[in-house]
Amino acid sequence: MTSSTGSEIEVPEALVSWHRRFFGEGGRAWIEAAPNLAADLLDRWQLRADGTPTSGAVALVIPVRRTDGTPAVLKLQPVTDETVGEPDALRAWGGNGAVRLLAHDATTGSMLLERLDADRSLATVGDDLVALQHLSELLARLSAVAAPSGLRRLSEIGAEMLGRVPRVLTLVPDPQRRLIQACASALAEVLPDTGDRLLHWDLHYGNVLAPHPADPREPWLAIDPKPLAGDPGFELLAALHNRWQDAVATGNVVRAIRRRFDLMTDALGLERGRATAWTLARVLQNALWDAERNDAMWNTEPDRLIAQTLLDTPPH
């Protein structure tokens, strides 16, 4: 898709479909404006396109070169509650374990980022537990940083979730209702102390990339944070989902979940009971989203098994 002015920037159809489906008229308008915005930023920041644009669920990512030939990427995305804090988080990390922020346009939310190796994520590491160890060590480094002021707080997210629970309980069948109630109870117990660490909130294998071959400064770097201020225990669920087929293939999914959970809590130095409660809170978040929209975006089977395993496993 190109702009009406004939810009040569192509917006991937997957991104077009996603915005139309989940962002309605606002999403359609943003997609229409994206090629012109990209052309303006290429000119303003003196960049030249250097490859085919790609996308995630929300952002348009354009490989570029700077005037000195340095590779970078131009990332365009709507300014939302989830994306507004990304530049602040990247500045706080300062390239330590995360992609470097090179420039930021506050009005549009657009960013110029260090280019990494998009073909080498943690998903390419053959041994699942080795990959999870890398991710956990990276997560420990990222969450060692205090959250900058102005970010959304986990206390706000948690309270808002609990406020939605009574209505959702009227929308779901009994087995799911009991799970939601158990997760909500766990969240209520830890909500008075939500912490102040800088959370990535979406650290899975696909959001951890190898550096660009031209600058192999670290083995692995995080991208695409949806930052929060809170407790690192809220970070674990996305990674517990990674390569779910590998967990199933062990023949004992419960043991595989426990092994993954133990590895992550040990690497991050987390108290297991609190980490369990915050992981159940993430399951609750997914369950609320799916029930309210009657549209399961998340794979609910891993969530159910992870939650049941943690609920059945006493803290130690």
Q: Which of 40, 202, 231, 266 is an active site residue?
A: 202
Its pTM stands at 0.92
- Report whether pLDDT(250) > 90: yes
- Report whether pLDDT(4) > 60: no
258 burial (CB, 10 Å; 0-12 / 13-18 / 19+) is middle
Task: Using pLDDT thresholds of 50, 70 and 90, give the confidence band for residue 37.
Answer: very high
Closest CA to 83 of 58, 48, 114: 58
**What is the reported pLDDT for 36?**
94
Is 246 tagged catalytic? no
Token look-up 């991937």 returns 12
**What is the reported pLDDT for 57?**
81
The predicted-structure confidence for 231-242, as pLDDT tens digits, reads as follows 999 999 999 999
The predicted-structure confidence for 270-313, as pLDDT tens digits, reads as follows 999 999 999 999 999 999 998 888 765 555 789 999 999 999 87
Per the model's pLDDT, the better-predicted residue between 269 and 20 turns out to be 269
Portion of the chain with pLDDT greater than 70, in percent: 95
The predicted-structure confidence for 91-106, as pLDDT tens digits, reads as follows 999 999 999 999 999 9
**What is the reported pLDDT for 247?**
93
**What is the reported pLDDT for 3?**
36
State the Cα–Cα distance between residues 279 and 275, nearest whole angstrom: 6
Half-sphere exposure at residue 252, Cβ-oriented, CA atoms within 13 angstroms = 5
Yes or no: say if 111 and 103 are a contact pair by the CB < 8 Å rule.
yes
The arithmetic mean of pLDDT across residues 126-140, rounded, is 96
The predicted-structure confidence for 145-183, as pLDDT tens digits, reads as follows 999 999 999 999 999 999 999 999 999 988 889 999 999
**What is the reported pLDDT for 283?**
96
Yes or no: say if 58 and 83 are a contact pair by the CB < 8 Å rule.
yes
With H, G, I as helix, E, B as strand and everything else as coil, classify residue 230: strand
DSSP 8-state code for residue 83: T
Yes or no: say if 153 and 195 are a contact pair by the CB < 8 Å rule.
no
Give the angle subtended at the CA of 103 by the CAs of 101 and 108, to the nearest 5°.
Answer: 110
What mean pLDDT value characterizes the chain? 92
